[in-house]
Amino acid sequence: MIYFDNNATTRIAPEVFDAMKPFLTDFYGNASSAYDFSRESKKAISRARESIAALLGANSTDEIIFTSCGTESDNWAILGALEANPEKNHIVTTKVEHEAVRSLCKKLEKKGFRITWLEVDENGFLDSERLKNSLNEKTAIVSVMAANNETGILFPVEKLAEIVKENSGALFHVDGVNAVGKIPFNLKKTEIDLFSVSGHKFHAPKGIGALYIKENIKLPSHFIGGGQESGKRAGTEAVHQIAGIGKAAEIVQDFEQMKRVSILRNRLENEILNKIPNSRLNGTKDYEKRLPNTANISFENTNGEAILARLSDLKIYVSTGSACNAESHRTSAVLQAMNIPFSDAMGAIRLSLGRYNTEAEVARVLEVLPPIIAEIRGFAE
Ligand code: PLP
């Protein structure tokens, strides 16, 4: 099979699996217990916290709190900011956030909170002047993603954090879920207060994430119960998961691998655009301003779901930017926000590569995709 859907989730690295195993078999003691049987578990948790802190460039391991996933980290950041600042009722976010932020903000809007939904242009970029103008004394939090999961577009979060801090007293949260492990971060040098991480996006298992909380920030506890995670997020530690995310963080600190991935992605993207008529890249062409692994490409007058199904028959796995069913033909909210025409947005697919992909896999996709598109267009005529 060919797996080109690494922004959805990734394969567990073999080294990660090996690092997890002892905590599922031999060292099953509760990490909070005082006896020596729990010592290995405690050590594994602190090692993992060090690895995540190093991967993010945090100032201290105290800034890293383990959660169950990126969604939990995103929810905690936003709800925590509101709870900590009950006199504030305004949130600033963008129209292209992941549902973990977007759906929560929509719900909060229905409850009476004021949300500013920042627009993006046709290349997927934010206007930082608009961000600046949206801030006021009631703004509790600004939540912006580091990298868009559908297009790979990078927001300049370090610069945006400075704008927020210079112009308001709001907290600045970054959904870093689809950026971590693909591009480096050095959070201690930034004004970013809160930063969400999800393990399964960088070769750790599903069910483990983290929230970076800058030293001076007081975020109310998320789960109330035992005193785990410095009392900030109660619940018996999932040591095997934590050991897994820690090992994955060590592995992905080798960003040389992402250079190789970007060469594969660039070849795939350029040859698709050259070979297949009426195809277009969604988002900027500038490699510096997007993730090294992602290409979101539209094939006019086709259907993303049909392309996905044909590729899936060949055991090639990608994802689509549209949701098409009998009742509705809806295109992705991200592509809509970028004003991609409907006939293009319906025919969008996302190819997201990873560390385990090869040149031969790229060649295979380049061989089979053009006839698939031609065939779908033939049916459509
Ligand atoms: N934020 C972004 C940008 C994502 O891409 C995802 C997952 O696709 C999430 C948040 C949610 O992360 P998780 O699946 O770990 O809950």
Q: What is the Å distance from ligand 1's center to 229 Cα? A: 22
Phi and psi at 148, nearest 5°, equal -75, 130
Condensed to tens digits (0 to 9), the pLDDT of residues 267-312 reads 999 999 999 999 999 999 999 999 999 999 999 999 999 999 999 9
What's the average model confidence in pLDDT over 41-54?
97
**How far from the centroid of its chain's Cα atoms is residue 331's Cα?**
20
- The yes/no answer on whether domain 14-251 falls in CATH 3.40.50.2000 is no
> Confidence class of residue 228 from pLDDT cuts 50, 70 and 90?
very high
| Ligand 1 interacting residues, C-beta cut-off 6 A | 69-71, 74, 98, 100, 145, 149, 175, 177-178, 198, 200, 209
Q: How far is the CA of 42 from the centre of ligand 1 (A)?
A: 27
Distance 69 CA to ligand 1 centre (A): 8
The best mutation among 98, 145, 206 to test binding of ligand 1, ranked by most ligand atoms within 8 Å of the C-beta, falls on: 98
Ligand 1: nearest atom to the Cα of 72: 16
Q: How far does the centroid of ligand 1 lie from the alpha carbon of residue 367, in Å?
A: 31
Q: Which atom of ligand 1 is nearest to the CA of 200?
A: 15
- Residue 240, pLDDT above cutoff 60: yes
Give the Cβ contact number of residue 170 at 10 Å: 24
> Band of the pLDDT at 326, cuts 50, 70, 90?
very low
176 C-alpha to center of ligand 1: Å? 9
| Residue 380 binned pLDDT confidence (cut-offs 50, 70, 90) | low
Please give the DSSP secondary-structure letter assigned to residue 23.
G
* Fold observed for domain 255-380: Aspartate Aminotransferase, domain 1 (3.90.1150)
Locate the ligand 1 atom nearest the alpha carbon of residue 73 and give its number: 16
Under the banding of pLDDT at 50, 70 and 90, the label for residue 325 is very low
Question: What per-residue confidence (pLDDT) applies to 197?
Answer: 98
97-127 burial code (b ≥16 CB/10 A, e <16): bbebbbebbeebeeeebeebbbebeebbbbe
Write the DSSP string, 126-158: B-HHHHHHH--TTEEEEEEESB-TTT-BBP-HH
Q: What is the pLDDT of residues 329-346, one digit of tens each?
A: 678 999 999 999 999 999
Residues serving a catalytic function are 324
CB 251 within 8 Å of CB 266:
no
Q: Which of 83, 78, 128 is nearest to 104 (CA)?
A: 78
Q: Which one of 71, 103, 154 would you pick to mutate in the ligand 1 pocket, going by the greatest count of ligand atoms within 8 A of its CB?
A: 71
**Whose CA is closest to atom 8 on ligand 1?**
8
In sequence order, the β-bridge partners of residue 145 are 175
All structural domains of the chain with their residue ranges: 14-251, 255-380
What CA–CA distances, in Å, run from 91 to 17, 106, 113, 192, 243?
39, 11, 8, 16, 35
- Is it the case that residue 322 has pLDDT exceeding 60? no
Taking the CA of residue 100 as reference, the ligand 1 atom at the shortest distance is 10
Average pLDDT over residues 164-184: 98
